[in-house]
Amino acid sequence: MTMIPLTFDKGQGLAGPMTCDEQSFRAIAKLLRDETGIHLPGDNTSLVVSRLIKHLRRLKLADFPAYVRWISDPAHVDDRNLMMTALTTNTTHFYREGYHFDIFVNVLLPRLRTAAQDGARIRLWSAGCSSGEEAYSLAATLIHHWPDAVQHDVKILATDISAECLETAERAEYPRERLEPVPDPIRTLMLSEGSPDASTVRMPKILRDLVTVRYLNFVTPWPTRGPFQAVLCRNVAIYMDDETQSRVFTGLADLLSPGGLLFIGHSERLPPTLSHRLTLIDRTTFRHN
Ligand SMILES: C[S@@+](CC[C@H](N)C(=O)[O-])C[C@H]1O[C@@H](n2cnc3c(N)ncnc32)[C@H](O)[C@@H]1O
């Protein structure tokens, strides 16, 4: 007799591959869009299955219609949030699009120093920060080029919707190899406080003190007043529908101080309605007029 191994791989059930019916897919896509603004194209059922199958198993639910009933129950808000995180792209790394940090240093930093010396409040925002690498890259760049920043009223706000990512950003601990893209003097600064163990790096206190980590969802009212001298909102809006993208970028423009810079992802575009308020000054970098 031939033995057939019983495996339970990603997307596979004992009764064959798990699929997501169209009605369940539409319900999941609508929830995701309503709660995050993220648009899930109609041909993405296999992505939904591969990213959510482990949640169906954990909840011991037999199929996607049962899963949709579960997450639609207001009592199951935690599972609904886990679904949002599973369907959201959180990819990030230290010094992503490194030229933005050079532009920050060359174009904005001299003005920030002068303004801070005159008593101004300096606020920078990593909006859609994922697990915090973007915010700590900015913090380390700032401190490396302007060590006296700590003597002024300077803060970096780091926000996201993913509870898991926000926990990592708050803990500020990362696998050591994630620091590989960081240019050397700044890498040394990031490594300056020693590590919890050989394979983990904790961002030093001087950087942790600069960064405030908070939950902020772009599709609900924003609990922040600004103004900000720089906003990095990179690789966030790209997953959203056009209307949400436009609302997010317009809201960010409203919170930028005159002369402030907005950095966006290299595949993102600003809505034409902002062309009279924001001027492209370098690659995917805009100055508030
Ligand atoms: C691909 S990551 C980008 C991280 C970082 N900005 C970078 O460029 O490396 C996108 C982040 O946007 C967040 N996000 C998605 N929808 C959001 C929303 N409605 N409000 C706030 N953040 C959101 C996700 O949780 C995710 O961490």
Atom of ligand 1 nearest to the CA of 96: 9
Nearest to 27 by CA among 77, 61, 58, 70: 70
Atom of ligand 1 nearest to the CA of 240: 16
Atom of ligand 1 nearest to the CA of 35: 19
Lowest mean pLDDT among 71-80, 187-196, 207-216: 187-196
| DSSP string over 219-285 | TS-------EEEEEE-SSGGGB-HHHHHHHHHHHHHHEEEEEEEEE-TT----GGGTTTEEEEETTE
**Which CATH class for the 18-87 domain?**
mainly alpha
Higher pLDDT: 128 or 196? It is: 128
Q: How would residue 10 be classed by pLDDT, with cut points 50, 70 and 90?
A: very low
Is the beta carbon of 87 within 6 A of some atom in ligand 1? no
Q: How far is the CA of 130 from the centre of ligand 1 (A)?
A: 5
Helices (H), the chain: 22-36, 45-58, 64-72, 77-87, 99-103, 109-117, 133-145, 163-171, 184-190, 205-208, 242-255
What tokens were used for 250?
């317009």
Atom of ligand 1 nearest to the CA of 244: 19
Q: How far is the CA of 64 from the centre of ligand 1 (A)?
A: 26
Nearest to 44 by CA among 62, 32, 56, 61: 32
Q: What is the mean pLDDT of residues 211-227?
A: 95
d(CA 81, CA 79): 5
CATH number of the domain at 99-288, out of 3.40.50.150, 3.30.450.20, 2.120.10.30, 1.10.10.10?
Answer: 3.40.50.150
Cα maximum dimension of the chain: 84
Strands 211-215 and 278-282: unpaired
Protein residue whose Cα sits closest to atom 10 of ligand 1 = 236
Q: What is the pLDDT of residues 243-270, one digit of tens each?
A: 999 999 999 999 999 999 999 999 999 9
Decide if pLDDT at 58 tops 60: yes
Q: What is the pLDDT of residues 149-175, one digit of tens each?
A: 999 999 999 999 999 999 999 999 999
Q: How would residue 198 be classed by pLDDT, with cut points 50, 70 and 90?
A: confident
Domain ranges of the chain: 18-87, 99-288
Is the beta carbon of 92 within 6 A of some atom in ligand 1? yes
Q: Using an 8 Å Cβ cutoff, are 125 and 232 in contact?
A: yes
Higher pLDDT: 1 or 93? It is: 93
d(CA 157, CA 134): 11
What tokens were used for 265?
């992802």
Nearest to 59 by CA among 84, 78, 34, 74: 78
